[in-house]
Structure formats: C-alpha cells, structure tokens
C-alpha cells in the first residue's frame, strides 16, 4: 500500500475550491467557463478569498442571519479548508 499524506488531499481540496470560486465568479460576471480558467480568473478568485478573510468573523457572523449565495458558500468552505490546513501544519510542527 502506497503512503498517502492526508495534508496533500486537503491541499488538493483547497485548490479545487479555489477553481470553483473562479468558475462561480465567472458565471456571475459572464466571463469565464470551467474549461478555460485564465490567470485573471484565478487572480479574481484569490482577491475574493482575501476579501472574505479580511472581512473578519464579526461581519460573517452577522451574515449568518441572512441567506448567503453560492459564492459565499464556496468562500466559507474554502476558509474552513484553509483553517484545517493550518491546524494540520501546526500539529506537525508541535
């Protein structure tokens, strides 16, 4: 049985979510498709991810009382995966 690192699988999941965010942004703006993810589309996804993280938990908690859209769901899921990656790395260092 080949050795597989759990962290590699979680990082791959994070990258899939990043691509899904880029696709969703493209769908909302009518620019990108899942077949042709450009560097600009991925940069837009990175900017959306950074903005979501910069918003802070307080603002996101306030949004808990309102329905969120598909993009926000992806961003929240991405944040959770990033936190999981950070936790896994911390445990390995500890």
What is d(CA 21, CA 13) in angstroms, rounded to the nearest whole number? 12
Q: How confident is the model at residue 67 (pLDDT cuts 50, 70, 90)?
A: confident
pTM of the model: 0.82
Share of the chain above pLDDT 90, in %: 52
CA atoms within 13 A on the CB side of 66: 8
Q: How confident is the model at residue 24 (pLDDT cuts 50, 70, 90)?
A: very high
| pLDDT over 70 (residue 63) | no
Q: Break the chain into its structural domains and give their ranges.
A: 6-93
What is d(CA 68, CA 71) in angstroms, rounded to the nearest whole number? 8
When pLDDT is averaged across residues 30-54 and rounded to a whole number, the result is 84
């Amino acid at each position: 049985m080949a050795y597989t690192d759990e962290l590699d699988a979680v990082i791959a999941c994070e990258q899939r979510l990043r691509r899904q965010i880029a696709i969703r942004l493209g769908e909302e703006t009518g620019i990108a498709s899942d077949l042709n993810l450009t560097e600009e589309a991925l940069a837009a996804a990175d900017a959306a991810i950074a903005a979501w993280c910069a918003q802070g938990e307080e603002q996101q908690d306030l949004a808990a009382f309102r329905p969120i859209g598909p993009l926000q769901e992806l961003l929240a899921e991405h944040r959770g995966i990033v936190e999981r990656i950070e936790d896994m790395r911390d445990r390995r260092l500890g």
